[in-house]
Structure 1
């Protein structure tokens, strides 16, 4: 997922579901997070904006520049009277080699709790079966399957 011009950063899909907790509340939960690795820095988890509770964030005037990722914009978290100033950042117009993180959000780990979550903890029943699986395993009452009566998907 990297190109020669982006040799300084590596962006890959996260292998697990990730969450962010602020002041005891889960404010981000995603099975579509990305991990960005940059030499000399701890890996950073980037969350899709649609998986983050944006109602607790307020855009600030802070901006920084990274030669590999571009211009970062910041948000302050505010919840239950507690706030974390400039605790969240995003690259809305990232550099060409960082396009995968466009519009995604990252959090400072010293301001919030960022942690992986096992899918089994989120959905203990596992994936729901499709109609074909349910029909195939439905008994017709005489010990035979119902699958013969339904078209294949």
Structure 2
């Protein structure tokens, strides 16, 4: 994998993940992953995510540059939002820093990004 496919770096921003009025994650510990042909993705440490609101879904995907992803559903007010986030528990060595972090789908939840 060359640098032309994926770039990964820490950013100086605060990110809040919201589902309606509920904050699902709030952090300044963010890794931004830029992959050719895709919008930026923000990987958040699990310690900054309300993991008690998430449960694993059955969805799995494979990326030749990152490895195998596991997905999570969000339960909120009796409703389930499927595949709201994903994580690479065993990422490929080139992106090892995203191990056990979560990225959230901005089409399923709101991402508020505030520069620090």
TM superposition score normalised by structure 1: 0.72
What does 1:62-101 correspond to in 2, within 5 Å?
62-101=59-98
More strand by share: 2
Unpaired runs of 5+ in structure 2? none
TM-superposition CA deviations, 1:78-115 (whole Å, max 9, x none): 01122210111000000111101000001110100011
Aligned match of 2:28 = 31
- How many aligned positions are there? 115
Gap regions ≥5 residues in structure 1: 120-153
Question: How far apart, CA to CA, are the structure 2 residues paired with 1:110 and 1:61?
Answer: 19
Quote how far apart the aligned CAs of 1:38 are. Answer: 0.2
Give the whole-Å Cα distance in 2 for the aligned partners of 1:82 and 1:13.
Answer: 33
Q: SS at the partner of 1:110?
A: coil
Cα-Cα RMSD: 1.1
- Give the structure 1 partner of residue 47 of structure 2: 50
* 2:9 is aligned with 1:15: no
The 4+ residue runs of structure 1 with deviation greater than 4 A are: none
Partners of 1:28 and 1:113 lie apart in 2 by 11
Q: Which has the higher contact order (CA 8 A, sep 6+)?
A: 2
Which protein has the larger Cα radius of gyration, Structure 1 or Structure 2?
A: 1
